[in-house]
Structure 1
Amino acid sequence: MKHTQSAVSLKFFLHSSFFLIFISVIILCAFSNLPLQAITHDYTNNTKNSRSTIKHESDAGIIRISDTSRNLELVIDYSTGCKITQLNIKGINTLSESGIYTGFTTKNEIYNSCVLDKKINVINIPEGIRLEGITFGNDTIQVDETWNFVLHNEKIIWNIQRKYNKTTELEEIEFPRWNFADLSIWKGGIFDNGGMVWCKYLSGINDTYGVHTGGVTLWNPQSGNGLKIAAQPGNNSFIASKYSLSDKKEFVCTHLVTDKELKQRYNLNRFVRGKADVFSPFSVKTKNSEINLELQYIDYTAIYSRGVLPGIDSEAVRELMNTTGRYGVVDNGIIGANGWTTNWKCLHEPFFAQIGMALNDKNYTRNFCATLDRERDYAITEEGRVLSRWHNDDSDQMPGTYDYETGYYEARWGYTIDSQTGYIINTAEQFDLCGDIDWLRSHKKSCEKALDWLIARDSNHNGIFEMMNNSIDEQTASDWLDIVWASFENAFVNAQMYEALKLWADCESILGDQQKSAYYKSVAKRLKSAFNKPVDQGGFWSPDKNQYVYWRDKDGSIHGDNLVTPVNFAAIAFGICDNQDRISRILDQIESRTSEENLFHWPLCFDSYKREEVSNRNWPFPTYENGDIFPTWGYLGIRAYVAYNKNIGLKYIRNILDQYKKDGLSSQRYSRKTQQGQGSDILAGICTSVTALYRDIYGIRPKWNRMGLEPNLTKELNGTSFAYTHLGTEYRIELKEGDYRIGTENFSVRSSRNFGIFPNGKELIFYPENKESMALILNARENRKINLHILDWNPDYYTWSTNGTGKCEFELRGLLPGNKYRISINGNNKILKAGKKGNIRFKVNEKSDTTYRIEKI
């Protein structure tokens, strides 16, 4: 027994001593940076709820890093160089044999981390691993890199630090370069500026798209897998990225970090065919350069879910908005509709903020604010003329108008005056999305200049605003239909002007300029009166044709009585036509003729223009803008039909979604004869019929100070439910015919009519009909969730109920000042008098579910 005890004691002593020595060596290495492989081979992040791991096979020079759920794994090979050889998504490698590596290119040579002369040091760091001594280059220019990998639950954080040995000029850098197996791995990537790369458009070797942002979420809709790469450069550095098809048919993503923002190599091209070097050469300095990459697997179908959409193909909605809807983002500060493959933006398109409303992406919203800032700063002349376009080169310019630094210019087809109205409409609607009054104020002078410039163009003082061309003989355009010779008094532009005046008058009121607000409202009122007069009295209404004509030349001749759809839709959608008989005559006629031809969407016009009214390219009918289908103006059609016949509007929304599933809506237009896609100039505006689904069917109406809801549902859409984020608050929307709900973390509001809400901590403001003329303010004095049910709200009385118990304070604004009101709380009455500002206040300690009724005495 004694012998056994001595043996056990000796064994325990030896094990204890070994353990102490082992710990000492670990501590020594931590302070002396001894190679980790001399100590241990595995590292597991055993923090709470974490099973992410690092496995180090030192003999093979392999490191395996995986996230918590094993959805994402990196395999690093540093045996002869240093690169990531596998990026496994749910066990499947997405990379080509080239893997992921870093590098740089001089005028004559290419260097990268794939083959190295020196041995790499691998060192343990808290919750991660470090690779030092990644050195490559030549005797003239050399870089030294350190790669740090840190595990943080579902994220693998990759930090790359680079130091150049001298200041020099480079052609390219890979910081890093991601080589995915082929174009089928991902459908595309959603950028952190709201845009996207669509892999199928990188169809030729070295076709390349370069943007000034680094973050991207790559996705595959078939598998539902997504890879999110959040990328941030080091301090005082700039980041860019480019996407291309390599000569090995790989889908390549390359990050670049530089001291100055990169410029384009080929004019202002963000996208180039057959050339991988989209960015200009740049200088690097000896100071440290750094990038931080957060890699995370995402469930794409969950993260980008459109919710439960009965009667609507929600998957098609999701894919349409994430491709076509985002395609118009050319770069930071450049959001258009023609998109990045053609490097074009038309300022005479008023629907970009509406696209942002439907996308509900804070990155797109932020970028469109920057876009409008650039337009304000670079695309508006001193006298207030808004230039019509941005392009990568001067090939489309009106001679002498192209700015080679900014890319803005006047189009060679003529002065398209709807750039004035497009800028105003987009700015006003963008303000509702961003809610930034200071931002709106920064556009006050420019918006006034743009409006006033067009207001001044009423030489005959009849209330209708004139274009810069006078007749069809000049063969120039005045609006979006740029090879139709609309001139002088243009109904399409004037209908948009009416909308712009209304929206901007509201903005002036918010900014406190009531005088300007009243002025623009009066101008709009006069325009509306003039617009609706019969053609023989100087207006645009044709009693004989039951339609609004397109334009009037200065000599008084009438043109465009061939049932031009955007003209007539705009008149109804923007409210300049509110005559129900006229609305019925126009919309019944359009629906009858569209159905007769069995068209999936509305054409630009139903009958031919006269030969002299259009460019040669528009002949014979139906061709191009003379009769073909341009779905870009779909939102005007949906908005026009919704108040008249919701089912017709829904039909064309579904038709667009069906067409997307057939061809991705990857066309400029569709042939009237074959209904097949035409043109290589893809238009992001084709998504607007679906943006109208959110605005005009689901009734999503975000305002600068509230979340609004104004639905137009049909029974087949009952049960619609989705999340929507506005001004930092996530709302849960639930819709049925005559039963609408918005919920937040602290409040739920239910009503059978339109309304808006603004939650602020324990306070909730309810806006009846989503207007600011009245407001019910509820302050929950205790920490409880309150469900507010609006039972009835009309001019004579207001009733609502709440559930639960606790103290609440109510204030009702918008009443008649000095008038007495009877307040009934669960049948108990009391009388209160409205104050000078038309408000009453009262407190209640709710003991159970409570019903309130307020009526004027």
Structure 2
Amino acid sequence: MKCLSKRFTPVFLICLFVLQAKAQTIYIENDAISKEITFGNSKMKLTLNYDHQCVLTHCSVNGQEVISRAGGIFTELRSSETSFSSRSLERDPVIRIKEGRFEIDKINYGPEQAGIKETWLFHISDTNIRFSIERTVRQPLVLHEAGFPSFQFDRIDTWDGAFLGHGGLAWFYLFNQPDCTYGVHTNQSVFWNADTGNAMKIDVQAPGQTVAMKYSRSDKDQLIYQVTVAANEMNPRYEKEKRSRFIRGKTDVWDDFTLAPGKYSQTVTLSYVDYHDTYGRGDLVGLDGQEVSQLLNTVARIGVIDRNLFGGNSWHTPYGPICLHEQYIAQFAIGINDPAYVSGYQQCLDYYRDHAIQPDGRVIARWAYLDEDAIPGTVNEWGFYEAQWGYLMDSNADFVANVAQVFDLTGDLGWVAGHKETCERALDYLLRRDSNGNHLVEMMTNSQTERRGSDWIDIIWASFENAFVNAKLYYALTLWSRVEALLNDEVKAADYARYA
């Protein structure tokens, strides 16, 4: 046999060591006596118990134990009368283990006539753990709640918060009493802890279905995170308006829905994220970079109520208002520095374009959980309304400014072209309000004695040629005239620049 050269041998051994070390980061260990499977990679470790149940009973992230007691990760369905889940099975499920993955079949639970059958498949790689669920339902079920799956973390302070797939935030500091619940439509949560620097990304894909998530503080101070997959968008349960995403003293934020018979599939991908590397702002000379990061990762994001609903207030406030008359929402993206926020706000502006702008170009000023702040009769079917304080005219200029500023961040010419006609209508609505031709537009009121607001400072009775609104209009005109030039409409570009 030919011997390896002295030069080749060390290189070969180093390569062999690296390959072996890499292989050892992925492991699956089945204890048939205790009926437990321990598996994971270098950053995540989980334990699954299959003794007349199918539950992930332990989970650690980079050595931080996040699930270690009663609870775990499981699937669960609740009707108005009863509940059933993978935590209680009549028979043990069937286990099949292969290299780098394992399957759990015959996870059968629920009422006999419904015949809920699930198969779970775990695929472990160096970078993530992919958890796929195949579910069969024989009969329709009217559900009060559904966890596909449900996660029960040890404590409400296990994580500081969860960044959402559309750029928003579930901030658990605001869950200041048991049974607080916040529900959103997103397919991604990145749970993070600033002290440990650990974060866990949970991404849910369910082809042809809508994904919703909710976060609750239990009466035992656990953090309950529940994924719901349904045919249609989930509707909030409470208040006559049925728009409230944050509720107190309850956990059933979503209204009942029907799970139709059929076969369903979804994939839940778990992965580790280094919080400071990914979401930190680095070293800022003369400033506390960690405090700046915390501010931008929390307060700056909580005005995002849900997908398509971005503002500058908070989902935690009792009636959850969004002001479309805030020209700085796009500017938040510079500090937040998260592509999810930018793309989420792009989608939100599309939604505002389609649902909050009237045919004459008027941009309806507000949206909220409740109608208590509205001029009676002004609330449209999507919840947008004119505020009781008066017609707040800066919403027209601010919508245009935000569209232009998002374009500055993305350079997406195709996207901004889709807003051309609407932004022109919004600007022209205001420009028609210059009755005396002095290039200062006028409000709906002519005198402060009418005691009506006309801008963001809604309880100050500014009227006639309101300087604040006109300054915002100048800003919007200068931004939009440049966009018109890039869209090759030199006439509109010149008109708006000239008026400004």
TM-score by length of 2: 0.92
Deviations 1:663-685 (A, max 9, x none): xxxxxxxxxxxxxxxxxxxxxxx
Residue equivalent to 1:60: 34
Q: For the Cα contact (< 8 Å) 2:52–2:93, is it kept in 1?
A: no
- Asked if 1:203 is matched to 2:179, the reply is no
Residue equivalent to 1:454: 430
Q: For the Cα contact (< 8 Å) 1:257–1:290, is it kept in 2?
A: no
**Matched residues in 1 for 2:226 and 2:172: separation?**
14
TM-score by length of 1: 0.54
Could you list the runs of 5+ residues in structure 1 that have no partner in the other structure?
Answer: 1-44, 525-857
Amino acid at match of 1:168: L
Amino acid at match of 2:484: E
**Matched residues in 1 for 2:201 and 2:108: separation?**
28
Residue equivalent to 1:113: 86
Deviations 1:286-337 (A, max 9, x none): 2222221111122211222312322121111211111111111111111111
Deviations 1:86-132 (A, max 9, x none): 11123342124111111101121011111110121000244211111
**Matched residues in 1 for 2:462 and 2:112: separation?**
66
**Matched residues in 2 for 1:360 and 1:307: separation?**
12
Residue equivalent to 1:379: 356
Residue equivalent to 2:197: 224
Residue equivalent to 1:321: 296
**Matched residues in 1 for 2:21 and 2:93: separation?**
28
Deviation at 1:80, TM superposition (A): 2.8
Residue equivalent to 1:787: none
Could you list the runs of 5+ residues in structure 2 that have no partner in the other structure?
Answer: 1-18
**Matched residues in 1 for 2:423 and 2:395: separation?**
12
- Asked if 1:90 is matched to 2:62, the reply is yes
What are the within-5 Å matches in structure 2 for residues 402-551 of structure 1?
402-403=379-380, 405-524=381-500
Q: For the Cα contact (< 8 Å) 2:349–2:403, is it kept in 1?
A: yes
What are the within-5 Å matches in structure 2 for residues 302-341 of structure 1?
302-341=277-316
**Matched residues in 2 for 1:282 and 1:240: separation?**
13
SS across alignment from 1:503: helix
Q: For the Cα contact (< 8 Å) 1:50–1:153, is it kept in 2?
A: no
Aligned residues between the structures: 476
What are the within-5 Å matches in structure 2 for residues 148-167 of structure 1?
148-167=121-140
Deviation at 1:275, TM superposition (A): 2.0
Residue equivalent to 2:329: 352
Amino acid at match of 1:431: F
**Matched residues in 2 for 1:441 and 1:50: separation?**
52
Q: Which one has the largest radius of gyration?
A: 1
Q: For the Cα contact (< 8 Å) 2:27–2:100, is it kept in 1?
A: no
**Matched residues in 1 for 2:63 and 2:284: separation?**
32
Deviations 1:416-474 (A, max 9, x none): 11101110110100111222212111111111111111111112222211111111121
Percent identical pairs in the alignment equals 37
Amino acid at match of 1:52: I
Q: For the Cα contact (< 8 Å) 2:389–2:458, is it kept in 1?
A: yes
Deviations 1:800-849 (A, max 9, x none): xxxxxxxxxxxxxxxxxxxxxxxxxxxxxxxxxxxxxxxxxxxxxxxxxx
Q: For the Cα contact (< 8 Å) 2:26–2:100, is it kept in 1?
A: no
Residue equivalent to 2:345: 368
Structure number with higher relative contact order (C-alpha < 8 Å, ≥ 6 residues apart): 2
Deviations 1:348-385 (A, max 9, x none): 00011111122221111111111111111111111111
SS across alignment from 1:319: helix
**Matched residues in 1 for 2:311 and 2:412: separation?**
22
Deviation at 1:150, TM superposition (A): 0.8
SS across alignment from 1:357: helix
Deviation at 1:228, TM superposition (A): 1.2
SS across alignment from 1:111: strand
Amino acid at match of 2:418: S
Deviation at 1:49, TM superposition (A): 5.6
**Matched residues in 2 for 1:272 and 1:141: separation?**
31
**Matched residues in 2 for 1:498 and 1:78: separation?**
65
Cα distance, 1:80–1:196 mapped onto 2, change above 3 Å: same
**Matched residues in 1 for 2:479 and 2:72: separation?**
52
Deviation at 1:50, TM superposition (A): 5.3
SS across alignment from 2:233: coil
2:374 to 397, 400, 407: 397
Deviation at 1:137, TM superposition (A): 0.8
Deviation at 1:399, TM superposition (A): 1.0
Q: For the Cα contact (< 8 Å) 1:189–1:219, is it kept in 2?
A: yes
Deviations 1:266-289 (A, max 9, x none): 211111112211112111122222
Q: For the Cα contact (< 8 Å) 1:257–1:289, is it kept in 2?
A: no
**Matched residues in 2 for 1:357 and 1:351: separation?**
10
Q: For the Cα contact (< 8 Å) 2:481–2:492, is it kept in 1?
A: yes
**Matched residues in 2 for 1:295 and 1:356: separation?**
26
- Mean alpha-carbon deviation: is it higher for 347-356 or for 159-168? 159-168
1:100 to 73, 86, 111: 73
Cα distance, 1:49–1:61 mapped onto 2, change above 3 Å: closer
**Matched residues in 1 for 2:52 and 2:268: separation?**
24
SS across alignment from 1:392: coil
Q: For the Cα contact (< 8 Å) 1:229–1:294, is it kept in 2?
A: yes
- Asked if 1:263 is matched to 2:235, the reply is yes
Q: For the Cα contact (< 8 Å) 1:207–1:245, is it kept in 2?
A: yes
Deviation at 1:212, TM superposition (A): 0.8
- Asked if 1:143 is matched to 2:119, the reply is no
Amino acid at match of 1:381: Q
- Asked if 1:273 is matched to 2:248, the reply is yes
Alpha-carbon RMSD: 1.5
